[in-house]
Chain A
């Protein structure tokens, strides 16, 4: 219930959900590094990485459909990869009527496979960890407190700002405005400006409210119990396995 509105989070009480967020965060980063370090020609290694993620997803009871739908955010980033086989140089291979660059194909595969695995790992992290707990994890990993604070306020005020944006849109449309072509741009630009000023003013009011409750520049850290070593071992084990796979693949290659 707690984070019911956040579409990325899948409420549950599995061993993966219960792991300390800082360990999961570290594991996701370590996994991504292991994936990036894997040579692109070691196809079996990528299959092994994918199997590791599938195992974690199964333990966390994250359905494949849930995972796949959220992978869509990857599309704009990898669209570029699809162009590589056409514009790549060097040796060509014939696929049906198309003549593709072998080097380009490998480069595209490299980007697609690595991005997909990294995004899947991040989505698994987000699906099993409430957003504010990820921030707690980041703080315990000693990520600069200013960055954590910025992310925290973003998380808290995103809905508020989206709400204001929606009200402004409804107000515009209620008075007969529709954004049909470029001529609408000045109106939209002014709306964005007004939204910025409102958000800025809210920032000032929030700061006053923080000062009124004794804020002196650092957020108080409430729960600073370190996670038990066993939890770290459990969380990091898929990442360690991925690292072993990557190392083997490099040796074989």
Chain B
């Protein structure tokens, strides 16, 4: 009932994510967000950059209603995040946590990928189809019957992405997707992410990764969005980066005109 009403509130023209004047203070009084505004259109891949302690994780926790805003609102594809819409919001916003050991908690990969859709009431053949499809999209179908703790770190991160894809989300939110990955796993994950046809919000301070995958970047610093523009321009602005404790890795320069997706084309 709630879900059916929620479904009707959605229209194709709505952006995947709209955050308006979002402010939040932790129960101990620490103010983490001071009025965040951002809009992400359907199909965009956007990087959310910011130094440690900028409020990135706090913002992410608002996107699927784990934290409730002190002020302002979050709207996912036209559906405001409220107590009575949480179920549908959590289906639409797929959160991939930084540590795959936190995300993969079931005894086998199959059960873990099935966990989300099963909570949404999907059963039987449709559930099996979703599980297989999600694992196929991340190239991990072979691991379907294995326990997650026997996979390599890179494989676990890919399965973590599949657990969320199986819920057929409107927007995929990844927390530091490249952390702890070796260069090959990092490239494989980038290829997978680039091949997905969903809206992506990627929280990171891996600036080259943001450039490689995202046309557009936002900088969150001190609890507000301080920059919003093409990733290439933002990364080329040394002063802006320095002012917000962001740095390009040693020896890295933003490539001139070459479009980012070609970085890894042979």
Contact = CB atoms under 8 A, between A and B. Distances in A.
B39 interface: no
Interface string A159-173: 110000000000000
Nearest to A224: B123
A34 B13 CA distance: 69
A208 interface: yes
A105 B148 CA distance: 49
A1 interface: yes
Interface string B106-126: 111001001110111001000
B105 A214 contact: no
Chain A interface SS verdict (over half): helix
Interface stretch (B43-51, B95-103, B204-212): B95-103
Contacts of B90: 211-214
Contacts of A214: 87, 90-91, 116, 119-120, 167
**Which of A157, A210, A216: most chain B CB closer than 10 A?**
A210
* Interface size class, chain A: 20 to 34
Contacts of A212: 64, 66, 90, 93, 95, 97
Contacts of A245: none
B119 A215 contact: yes
B107 A152 contact: yes
A209 B114 CA distance: 14
Given A205-B99, A209-B97, A5 B150 contact: yes
B106 A156 contact: yes
Contact of B105 (A132, A135, A156, A222): A156
A131 interface: yes
Interface of B: 61, 64, 66, 87, 90-91, 93, 95, 97, 99, 101-103, 105-108, 111, 114-116, 118-120, 123, 127, 145-150, 163-164, 167
